[in-house]
Structure 1
Amino acid sequence: MLALYLRDVRVGVRAGGGALVGVVFFLAVVAVIPFGVGPDLNLLARIGPAVLWIGALLASLLGLERLFQLDREDGSLDLMVMAGERHLTALSVLVKCLAHWTASVLPLVAVTPLLGLFMNVAPAGLAAATATLLVGTPAIVFVGAVGAAVAVALPRGGLLVSVLILPLVIPILIFGVAAVRGAVADPDPFLPPFLILLALTLFFAVIGPLAAAVALRWSGD
């Protein structure tokens, strides 16, 4: 499993510059908001956490269609599905999700404090946004693995992946934004939505790879 993780991280870094494309897209989303809403710094600070989360969520969806595509093209996906039981396939999917998150999504988390400056977010909000994205974005990848597994056998299934999983990641967005707002707005709590966000990630870490393994076996049939 360690060899699979390291292989997928190397492939993710080399294949199409996925991390750089995600960071540039994240930057574009955040940078255009001040031009759209005007130079009101108080308004930017108020909507900043939501903009950071929406930008990171959309950027996280960009490379999900490639999660299993390369393995399908070289035949290793069929070997992975046929080589073991369903729980072993699910474990392989979990490792691939973690590798994809490391290569493509973790850079988005790393640049969040810098992009938050565009939105006039307070230092406490920048720290909270980074922490919530660090905890919440793996859940997006775990959910996305299900959509990628469903669409892996379909031509041009990239848009279908986003359409399938976008409704499922809305709770992650809601609790992530609520936690960041709790860090900068005194009456709102930070810890309860943050713990719910963590629970969602742990839940999808179990359900997502299992559902993706079933979908991969179904698509192989």
Structure 2
Amino acid sequence: MIPVLQRDLALAVKGGGGFGLGLAFFLIIVVLVPFGVGPQSELLSRIAPGILWVGALLSCLLSLDRIFQLDFEDGSLDLLATSPLPLETLALAKAAAHWLTTGLPLTLAAPILGLLLSLPTSAVFWLVLTLAIGTPALSLIGAFGAALTVGLKRGGLLLSILVLPLYIPTLIFGAEVVRRGADGLATATPLLFLGGITAGALAILPFATAAAVRINLR
């Protein structure tokens, strides 16, 4: 698993695999929102949790089609499928590489970007926590969608249509935790739901992703 993870990280950095692209897109969204809704701090503070989570979700979409597509095009996926490494482990490594190049940078940059939207300081901790818990689920779901569409020409749009509905529960509970944290309300219930989504994705989706890859390689 480690060699596959290292290989994907190297490709992401050197071969234009999406490293930094999601972070740049996230920054663009955060910068443009005040131009669209106005510079009122009170309004920006109220909508910041939802905007930041929507921005993180859309940023994760940008590089999903690269998770398996490049390996499929150069024949590496066939070799990986016939190697001693189980496809479930391969799927987990691919999702982990996507999270390290997309979800982790978004999580680390979120406090600074939150300040640009006048996010209350009391909500910064909850923003970082929910992104750290929720973005792995986005990568796992995205890897499953990428496995379903691998081999399809121009499958990026179809991938987005397939994945977006599956992202909605993570978006709802992640933004709700941040909103409640900003208002000083209890956050335990939506936080548990968010953690449950990630735990369920980690337990189920590597197997579903591996099955989708097997079907597409037949």
Query: What SS class does the counterpart of residue 202 from structure 1 fall into?
Result: helix
Name the counterpart of 1:8: 8
Name the counterpart of 2:171: 173
Distance 1:115 1:135 in 2: 18
Name the counterpart of 1:199: 196
Distance 2:196 2:187 in 1: 15
Distance 1:17 1:115, change over 3 A: farther
Query: What SS class does the counterpart of residue 203 from structure 1 fall into?
Result: helix
Name the counterpart of 1:125: 123
Indicate conservation of the 8 Å contact 1:150/1:219, yes or no: yes
Shift of 1:12: 1.5
Give the counterpart letter for 1:30 in structure 2: V
Name the counterpart of 1:219: 216
Query: What SS class does the counterpart of residue 82 from structure 2 fall into?
Result: helix
Name the counterpart of 1:104: 102
Give the counterpart letter for 1:157 in structure 2: G
Distance 1:6 1:77 in 2: 16
State whether structure 2 residue 88 is matched by structure 1 residue 90. yes
Distance 2:146 2:195 in 1: 23
Indicate conservation of the 8 Å contact 1:29/1:55, yes or no: yes
Shift of 1:96: 1.3
Q: Which range moves more in the overlay, 209-218 or 169-178?
A: 209-218
Give the counterpart letter for 1:107 in structure 2: P
Q: Give the superposed CA RMSD.
A: 1.4
Query: What SS class does the counterpart of residue 20 from structure 2 fall into?
Result: helix
Indicate conservation of the 8 Å contact 2:17/2:63, yes or no: no
Identical pairs, percent: 44
Q: How many residues align?
A: 218
Shift of 1:79: 2.0
Indicate conservation of the 8 Å contact 2:148/2:212, yes or no: yes
Shift of 1:177: 0.5
2:151 to 136, 140, 153: 153
Distance 2:17 2:73 in 1: 19
Query: What SS class does the counterpart of residue 24 from structure 2 fall into?
Result: helix
Q: Where does structure 1 lack aligned partners over 5 or more consecutive residues?
A: none
Name the counterpart of 1:38: 38
Distance 1:17 1:151, change over 3 A: closer
Distance 2:83 2:10 in 1: 23
Distance 1:5 1:24 in 2: 23
Name the counterpart of 2:205: 208
Give the counterpart letter for 1:196 in structure 2: F
Indicate conservation of the 8 Å contact 2:30/2:52, yes or no: yes
Give the counterpart letter for 1:220 in structure 2: L
Q: Deviations over 1:46-80 (max 9, x none)?
A: 11011000000000110010001121122221122
Distance 1:206 1:64 in 2: 20
Q: TM-score, normalised by structure 1?
A: 0.94
Shift of 1:17: 5.8
Distance 2:144 2:120 in 1: 36
Indicate conservation of the 8 Å contact 2:26/2:106, yes or no: yes
Give the counterpart letter for 2:146 in structure 1: A
Give the counterpart letter for 1:68 in structure 2: F
Q: Deviations over 1:70-99 (max 9, x none)?
A: 2112222112223358xx211111011101
Name the counterpart of 1:134: 132
Name the counterpart of 1:116: 114
